[in-house]
Chain A
Amino acid sequence: MTDALTKLLENNILQLGIWETIYMTLISTLIAYLIGLPLGVILTITDKDGIRPIPWLNKTLGIIVNIFRSIPFIVLMVAFLPLSKLLVGKSYGNEAMIVMLVIAAAPYIARMVESSIKEVGAGIIEAAQSMGTPTLQIITKVLLPEAKISLIVGAVISSVTVLSYTAMGATISAGGLGSIAIIWGHQRSNPEITWICVALIILIVQVIQEVGMRLARKLDKRAK
């Protein structure tokens, strides 16, 4: 074992990095879903072919989502630091990083949710309408449950994307495996540390992927 690696382990830096990566990913994805899920639903139903067409609202939200989606994450991060200061009182560190991740992920998730819900057959929605189902119940009893599997798959993809964003945390002094790879691995010329970080990130992604897909398969009532 190299000196650098021993130091990392003895001071629990690597362990902390793993934890930071996991918790930044989960918390950010969760908060981003609180914003992105309703946003995706609104984007779907207010569409001109949706169950509650409101063209102006749909267009406005669509444009906002597209603007946020087009800003590269690293630029978004520095540009929105003042907002983070306003929200969590800090413009650096893990908390600030979570704010940035939410800003970047929420619009992305909104589009994922939108495309999942649009997979629900028009006939099923029409049947619900023919039974006199109010819009809110069509959302909660038809659109979301019927899109469930696609939504779970979307959540897996989204959280893996968020995880890859966390690796840029070093830019604003946040932690996580990405920061360790850059600060300890790259800047101090310890390639073995970089590769350990790579392996650990791959492992975390595999776990998320596997758990998500198993859940999706288990919950899907369509197959067989």
Chain B
Amino acid sequence: MIELKNISKTFTSKSGPITALENISITIEDGEIFGIIGLSGAGKSTLVRCINLLERPDSGEVVIDGVNLMEVSKKELLTIRQNIGMIFQGFNLLEQRNVLKNVTFPLEVAGWEKEKAKARALELLEIVGLSDRALSYPSQLSGGQKQRVAIARALATNPKYILCDEATSALDPNTTSSILELLRHINKTMGVTVIIITHEMDVIERICHRVAVLDKSHVAEMGYVTDVFTDPQSDIARELVLPKILSALDQTTGYALRLVFNGESSDKPIVSSLVTECSAPVSILFADIKELDGKNYGQMLIVLPRDATEALEKMCDWLTRNHVKFSMETTLTREEDKA
């Protein structure tokens, strides 16, 4: 378990002090995939570096499995870090070492025997699907392959935790999907706790169990991804969850409903069911849904005319019965509604 307690961090710059984190407390349970999202400059990269003390907080406690890292010796800290893998946006592979030697690097540091380290590295390359590239050099790999090597390297010492700092931000959508899938697989099969830093809601939505939304050095909102996604409370969470929806809403006059698909929703054909079973004349204003593992993820904004109140009630009822998460968005549609 990782407990961050009242973490604060201020940087000094030429133009004066800059507060990166202010009084942040987060608890990350073993075995979960925890997301930390925020716009750039929100402090999320600093926060993730506080977990392994690459950045030392000015105040607060970083407690990992009951040990307060702020109080351990330098030497102990090095040993603890071997139990926390980390991957980066820029991959950060050693360019003069081949793939195999990159993966054995943390094992060399941890004092493994050469043969054992090699065997372990090959095993990990198998898991990340790069057995055939063991003798290639990083410059010969694509971005996705480099990140796979980085993941293998981060897992080499069998860590309990793996920190991902914008790990997919430099990758194209397809590669992003496969890397996220790999992380999910690792979490499921090895029980590794995954902490993901990102500015993309999409990443959180697809693999995280819980999320903390960071805004201006504070935690603006924290909870299960499904809850934050269905019903974001803070302004920043709304902005991150609904960017396209908010602009689509500006142009409608009807009742707007946002349907959220998080893989658990009914596999019935929803729109046609709404039309046939509730005789609701719905139109789709916006939809962004992807299929992953045969499950749907994403959201859809549907609109009913103002006079269709009866159909609206039926519809809400039907959605609830079929366990489709939704929220009424009409209240924030237009100025004249408030008047």
Which residues of A are in contact with B by a Cβ distance under 8 Å?
121, 123-124, 126-134, 137, 141-142, 145-146, 148-149, 220-224
Contacts and interface: CB of A to CB of B under 8 A. Distances in A.
Contacts of B229: none
13 contacts: A124-B92, A124-B94, A127-B88, A129-B81, A130-B85, A131-B81, A131-B82, A133-B78, A137-B109, A149-B96, A221-B98, A222-B137, A224-B140
Contacts of B105: 128, 131, 141
Interface of B: 52, 54, 77-82, 84-86, 88, 90, 92-98, 105-106, 108-110, 137, 139-140, 150, 153, 157, 163
Contact of B78 (A132, A145, A146): A132
Nearest to A125: B92
A70 to B, nearest CB: 29
Contacts of A121: 90, 92
A219 B225 CA distance: 48
B78 to A, nearest CB: 4
Nearest to A131: B106
A152 to B, nearest CB: 12
A178 to B, nearest CB: 38
Contact of B82 (A132, A146, A148, A223): A132
A148 B90 CA distance: 21
Contacts of B84: 130
Nearest to A133: B109
A97 to B, nearest CB: 36
Say what secondary structure dominates the interface of chain A.
helix
Query: Among A132, A133, A146, A224, which residue has the most Cβ atoms of chain B within 10 A?
Result: A132
A130 B139 contact: no
Contacts of A141: 105, 108-109
Given A129-B54, A131-B82, A132-B80, A222 B109 contact: no
Nearest to B156: A131
A148 B95 CA distance: 11
Given A222-B137, A224-B140, A123 B88 contact: yes
B78 A222 contact: no
Contact of A134 (B78, B80, B139): B78
Given A121-B92, A130-B54, A133-B78, 14 more contacts: A123-B90, A127-B88, A128-B109, A130-B86, A131-B105, A132-B77, A132-B79, A132-B82, A145-B97, A146-B95, A220-B96, A221-B96, A221-B97, A222-B137
B94 A146 contact: yes
Nearest to A148: B96
Contacts of A137: 108-109
Given A127-B86, A132-B80, A132-B109, A221 B92 contact: no
A222 B81 contact: no
B109 A126 contact: no
A214 to B, nearest CB: 17
B96 A145 contact: yes
Q: Which 6 A-B pairs have the closest CB atoms?
A: A132-B81, A127-B92, A132-B78, A130-B86, A123-B92, A132-B82
A143 B140 CA distance: 21
Nearest to A145: B96
Contacts of B80: 132
Contacts of A134: 78, 109
B52 A130 contact: yes
B96 A131 contact: no
Contacts of B88: 123, 126-127
B92 A126 contact: yes
A127 B147 CA distance: 13
A222 B92 contact: no
A132 B97 CA distance: 19
Contacts of A133: 78, 109
B109 A223 contact: no
Contacts of B93: 124, 127
A141 B110 CA distance: 13
A134 B94 CA distance: 16
Of the listed residues B79, B86, B94, the one surrounded by the most CB atoms of chain A closer than 10 A to its CB is B94
A130 B78 contact: no
A31 B89 CA distance: 41
A128 B54 CA distance: 11
A222 B52 CA distance: 30
A189 B140 CA distance: 59
Nearest to A149: B96
B137 A221 contact: yes
A134 B79 CA distance: 10
Contacts of A128: 105, 109
A181 B163 CA distance: 65
A141 to B, nearest CB: 7
Given A130-B54, A132-B81, A222 B96 contact: yes
Contacts of B92: 121, 123-124, 126-127
Given A123-B88, A134-B78, A222 B139 contact: yes
Nearest to A220: B96
A131 B155 CA distance: 10
Contacts of B137: 221-222
Contacts of B82: 131-132
Contact of A221 (B78, B95, B108, B109): B95
